[in-house]
Structure 1
Amino acid sequence: MSVLLLQLAGPLQAWGASARFARRTTESAPTKSGVIGLLAAALGRERSEDLADLAALRFGVRVDQRGTPIRDYQTAHHFETGRSMPVSERFYLADAVFVAALEGPDDLIDELHQAVRRPTFLPYLGRRSCPPSRPIDLGVRQVGDVERALEKEIWRASRWYQRRYGKPSVQLETIVEATAGDGPVDSIRDQPLSFDPHHRRYALRGVRHGHVEVPNPAAPQLSDHDPTAVLGGV
């Protein structure tokens, strides 16, 4: 098994697991359905195509920079009649950074890696109005599983964000797909079954919340300077 790592960073992101009418919310971290959709687009798959192989990948995400929730109102008019449509309320995450990990067979992970580097359709972070601000590709890791890959990856937060933490290491939240034998888990309806616009379908998926500790590259460095050294001869 290999693990594909993706960097999800942009001015705005929106990862909705549910939406009701004109209210479009976002989860606090990327959803599996959203990231699988990004990969399917990179491969050039149509929305009506089978995605069982992608849905079978084990998914995890690390919150490197939590971001700020914001709300936006959008208006629209019917093209033919000119009649005003209902005002829609949309939520986003601003200035967030995540590391997503997908674990699966070596050949499929390699195919996805090549697609991310040369996507057929341009990637976006949950919605088409949310383009990435950094390269998405972080490469493939041969480290065993999602947990290990997220633990070993360097902290990807913005430099200004890292400087806010004076300690040499930081704890980052992880949300990893649960496996058989895991203890109590949470659930989210973001397991994609079909992206067909006429019949989108999603199932519940178990997730486990945890933390990993990673070094802070912007932490102040301890100096070897000894101010009393000049007094040694006194």
Structure 2
Amino acid sequence: MSTLLLRLAAPLQSWGVASKFDTRDTAREPTKSGVIGLLAAALGRSRTEGLEDLNDLRFGVRIDQPGTSLRDFHTARLNEQDPPFVTTRYYLADAVFLVGLEGEDDFLQELIEALENPVFPLYLGRRSCPPAGRLVLGLRERDLPQALEEEPWQACEWFQKKNVEQIRLTIVYDAQPNEQGAFLRRDLPVSFDQRHRRYGFRMVRDIAEAIATRAPQHLRELPTGHDAMAGWGD
């Protein structure tokens, strides 16, 4: 068993957990249903195909750069005669997450190939949120918690410059049976069929882990090259 690590970064992400039609929320980190949907899209699966093999993967997230909450709105109407109505959408701006998927090596390798050559477009929670930068970090011969704890900090350089000392990062992962501190979360996809989407519960646990990897020295002392007084002359 190994763990596949992904880096989920984009200008905008949105991971709904309790969305209603007129208000679409977002969780603070990627949901299992959202990431399973991304994997299913990469594999080319239809919405009516089974998800058992994907759900069996042990799933976890490390919040490397929490981003900021952004509220937006959309207008829509059923026809030209009716007045438009407003829907509220929430996003995470400039967030970066480390996602881990623990499973059999052969299946994880299949997922890597699919993510690098996806059948359908990939997006981070909503179609308006395509991923940016490198997505697949590779396999680690570690269990899920250890892989998430040991991987170097994935935050953007500008964010690392602001947080150059040791930082504590939140890790949320699928709990083992009878694991202390676990709680229920309803984001396990049973079916993505648009006629009857269904979600089940999973047991999760979250911890705050101190990441020993600090921003590299060159990030801490990098000059900007900007002279604020240059325009004043002598």
TM-score if structure 2 supplies the norm length?
0.89
In the aligned structure 2, how far is the partner of 1:140 from the partner of 1:210? 23
Correspondence 1:74 to 2:74:
yes
Distance 1:52-1:85 versus aligned 2 partners, 3 A rule: farther
Deviation of 1:76 after TM superposition, in Å, equals 1.6
Which residue does 1:97 correspond to in 2? 96
In the aligned structure 2, how far is the partner of 1:114 from the partner of 1:211? 32
Which residue does 2:138 correspond to in 1? 139
SS at structure 2 position matched to 1:75:
strand
SS at structure 1 position matched to 2:162:
coil
Which residue does 1:150 correspond to in 2? 148
Contact kept, 8 Å, 1:116 with 1:137, in 2: the verdict is yes
Please tell me the root mean square deviation across aligned C-alpha atoms, in Å: 1.4
Deviation of 1:213 after TM superposition, in Å, equals 2.4
Amino acid at match of 1:8: L
Please list every run of 5 or more consecutive structure 1 residues that lacks an aligned counterpart in the other structure: 222-234
In the aligned structure 2, how far is the partner of 1:43 from the partner of 1:119? 6
Runs of 4+ more than 3 Å apart:
218-221
Deviation of 1:60 after TM superposition, in Å, equals 0.2
Q: Deviations over 1:49-90 (max 9, x none)?
A: 011110111100000000000100110233x54533421000
SS at structure 1 position matched to 2:53:
helix
Aligned residues: 218
Which residue does 1:225 correspond to in 2? none
In the aligned structure 1, how far is the partner of 2:10 from the partner of 2:187? 21
Contact kept, 8 Å, 2:164 with 2:215, in 1: the verdict is no
Pair member with larger Rg: 1
In the aligned structure 1, how far is the partner of 2:51 from the partner of 2:81? 38
Please list every run of 5 or more consecutive structure 2 residues that lacks an aligned counterpart in the other structure: 222-234
Amino acid at match of 1:197: Q
SS at structure 2 position matched to 1:20:
coil
Which residue does 1:193 correspond to in 2? 190
Q: Deviations over 1:9-34 (max 9, x none)?
A: 00000000121221000000000000
In the aligned structure 2, how far is the partner of 1:162 from the partner of 1:146? 24
In the aligned structure 1, how far is the partner of 2:74 from the partner of 2:83? 11
Percent identity for Structure 1 against Structure 2: 48
Which residue does 2:122 correspond to in 1? 123
Which residue does 1:203 correspond to in 2? 200
SS at structure 1 position matched to 2:129:
coil
Which residue does 1:173 correspond to in 2? 170
Contact kept, 8 Å, 1:163 with 1:218, in 2: the verdict is no
Deviation of 1:133 after TM superposition, in Å, equals 1.5
SS at structure 1 position matched to 2:37:
helix
